[in-house]
Structure formats: structure tokens, C-alpha cells
Amino acid sequence: MRVLFAGTPAVAVPSLERLLQAGFDIVAVLTREDAPVGRKRTLTPSPVAARAAELGLPVIRANRIDAAATAALAEARPDVAAIVAYGALVPPQALEIPAHGWINLHFSLLPAWRGAAPVQHSVINGDEVTGASTFLLEPGLDTGPVYGTLTEAVRPGDTSGELLQRLSHSGAELLTQTLSAIGAGQAVAVPQSGDVSLAPKLSLADGRINWEQPALAIRRRINGVTPEPGAWTMLDGQRFKLGPVRLRQDHADLAPGQVLPGKDAVLVGTGSCSVELGQVQPAGKKMMAAADWARGLGQREDVHFE
């Protein structure tokens, strides 16, 4: 089959590579336009665009599928479109281009966590099991009938980045199997059933830690927003970034947000037990071990996260 591939971030690259390995004819790659990256704001191709260029595949860059992009997609004459985290809606006119429609690889067990950040919300919510689904794209938000699913255990220490990395590879295989079944005329899409939950895109504000919450909820939130948009708190009126933490059963007498610097460990009070900081990034500095940061505090005893 002639396949149009649509995707933008690094988690979409394994799917592109796996479809090529399986022998599909990738007639075009749709991705978002080059974006400024880093402090110098250098225009940089998306990970999918960069990999497609290395593979010699034609690339269509568009932040939204307007009339010009729709015409370019139609000119590629795909039999089916595979979409993995492209980052924009597909309008009805474009949905009609491939005879077999657009097959979306979504990183949740639909209808759970419909939306832009399913893995992040799954980790924050404390799900023990998540997965991926392939479904037929339609105008509704992740509402189309499902072709296939896979499950993945959420490990206690998983960040959303680590979990998404695993799902990007297992999901690539699921997407390949789905397209193979469609090509063979053996695929069956089943309407979604079960409880619906939504996973909207997370903002910077979603990464702020509320130390009044129980330690487990704090750990889940930090893991869920790592690496993006990132966990943070306030210290001395400035934003203080946080990496993943460990739960500790001691020092439950610490007030929420109270910091206890130690030689080998830095503890923070929560609404339940304390947590041990891992990596931290004070304002204007690089990420460092919490113990190294604590040594720079000297004899200060009034350290309190807000």
C-alpha cells in the first residue's frame, strides 16, 4: 500500500522506521514546520522531518492542514495515512483523501485518556496499566473505532518520558500490524466502549508542586510532567526545577515544603511522609544533584519551598 506518514516528535520516529522495514511504500511524510530551538532560537527540523530526510523521503511541512497542504497530500495519492503525534487536527477534506482513511496510533487504551497528553495524565493519575491503540481517525477527538490495542505496565518510578519511549516502540509494531491487516482486507474496527477520560495538553502551571498533597501524589505528578513541561516549585521568589523524587517513611514531622538538607540526602515535607530530592535546578543554574545544591546552603536553616 501507498502510505502517507504524519508525525512530528521523536516518539513518532520508530513508527516511520518500522513501516519502512515492513516494506510499506511511504509516498510522503507530513510534519510540522521547522521550529526555533535552544537559547539561540535556531530553526530546527522536527525529529520526523530530520529522519525522513535521512531516509530520502519527500516531506510536507505544515503546522495546519490548509488548502495548500491538502492539495499536496492529494497529489501523493496515498491508499492509507498513518498518523502518530502529528500535532494538528486533520480536516474533513483531508480525511477523505486515502481510501482506507487515517489510522492513528494513540498512546492510551481508548476511550481512556483521549487528548494530547495521554501518557502524562496516566502517570499523574497513578494508573498501573496503560497501553496504545490504533483507531480510524474521524472529526471527533480520538473517538473513532479501534483496530487494535496493546498493554504496558506503568512502573512505580516511570516518568512519562520513559513510559512513552517504551510505548513508541511497541506501538510502532502495533501500527505496522494494523496497516498490514488493512492491506490484506482482514482488519476490523470496533466502536469504543467504556469510561471516557480526557488528557488535555499540560501547561507550565501543571508542573507546579503543591507540597500539601500526599507524597505519593507529588511523586506521580513530578514523574508525569517529566520531561515536559517539567516539575517546579518556588524558592525565595524564583522558580526551582525538580527531577523525580523518592518516597521516605521518615521525617513525617516536616511541614509541607520544609527542606531538611543532609550530607547524603535532601528531604522535603509533604502532606504525608517526606520525599527525597534527586536532581534539582536552582534559578540560573544547571541541573545538579540535590546534595550538591544543599552544600551550597551553608548554615541556612529556613529553607522552605512555596
Share of the chain above pLDDT 90, in %: 91
pLDDT at residue 79 greater than cutoff 80 = yes
Check whether domain 2-183 has CATH 3.40.640.10, yes or no = no
Which of these ranges, 18-27, 222-231, 288-297, has the smallest mean pLDDT? 288-297
In the numeric block, the cell 472529526 is attached to: 139
CATH class of the domain at 204-295: alpha beta
pLDDT for the residue 253: 87
pLDDT at residue 115 greater than cutoff 90 = yes
Whole-structure pTM value: 0.94
In the numeric block, the cell 500500500 is attached to: 1
Distance separating alpha carbons of residues 36 and 41, to the nearest angstrom: 4
Distance separating alpha carbons of residues 77 and 26, to the nearest angstrom: 11
pLDDT for the residue 188: 96
Query: Strands 129-136, 238-242: parallel, antiparallel or unpaired by DSSP?
Result: unpaired
Q: Is 297 left (phi over 0), alpha (psi -120 to 50) or beta?
A: alpha
DSSP 8-class letter at 203: -
pLDDT tens by residue, 15-68:
999 999 999 999 999 999 999 887 788 899 999 999 999 999 999 999 999 999
Judged on CB neighbours under 10 Å (0-12, 13-18, 19+), 138 is middle
- Taking residue 257's Cβ as centre, other Cβ atoms within 10 Å add up to 19
pLDDT tens by residue, 138-156:
999 999 999 999 999 999 8
Do 196 and 111 touch, CB atoms closer than 8 A?
Answer: yes
Three-state DSSP state, 112: coil
Domain boundaries along the sequence of the chain? 2-183, 204-295
Q: Is 187 left (phi over 0), alpha (psi -120 to 50) or beta?
A: beta
